[in-house]
Amino acid sequence: MKNIAVMAGLALVLSACGDKSGTPAADTTAAASPPPAAASGATHNVQMVMEGTAYKFVPSDLSVKAGDVAVFTNVSGGPHNVAFYPDSIPAGAEPVLAAQIKDGLGPLSTALVIDPNATITISFAGAPAGEYKFTCTPHQAMGMNGKITVTQ
Ligand SMILES: [Cu+2]
């Protein structure tokens, strides 16, 4: 009897959550493309900078949770972009990333950001756990690389 009460309570909590997420979201954008999973987590800011003669992502190594968002900002030394290495992302990550990268330099390479403080947003909603390695196409030869580790 006690177990049934616990189960009932759990069901109430679950259904409450369901009601909450069931409210229609303002979905006025990107109706034509398959909707990426909704981002629900934290935002992580990554700066794209030139310091002296060095080009870098700051931070160049960070951990996020699935559902978080990374916002890359063109601080100095642009143009920059975010280009994921197809062979250095987890299995199943490619469609998650490619669905967000429109008019990029490639399926996993975003367009260049040129204007000061222009941003590139990558959502890790629905993204498999693992290491995502990326570079900046114009500065790849200068070692502008980064890594994001996604945990569930
Ligand atoms: Cu760059």
69-82 pLDDT, tens per residue?
A: 999 999 999 999 99
The model's confidence at residue 25, banded by pLDDT at 50, 70 and 90, is very low
Contact 117, 125 (CB under 8 A): no
| CA 1–ligand 1 middle distance (angstroms) | 62
Between 6 and 137, the more confident residue is 137
| CA 39–ligand 1 middle distance (angstroms) | 26
Closest C-alpha to 101, from 129, 149, 134: 134
| CA 23–ligand 1 middle distance (angstroms) | 40
| CA 48–ligand 1 middle distance (angstroms) | 7
| CA 102–ligand 1 middle distance (angstroms) | 19
- DSSP characters for 55-81? EEEESSEEEEETT-EEEEEE-SS--B-
| CA 10–ligand 1 middle distance (angstroms) | 49
pLDDT at position 39 is: 60
| CA 128–ligand 1 middle distance (angstroms) | 26
| CA 145–ligand 1 middle distance (angstroms) | 9
| CA 129–ligand 1 middle distance (angstroms) | 26
For residue range 80-92, what is the model confidence (pLDDT) as tens digits?
Answer: 999 999 999 999 9
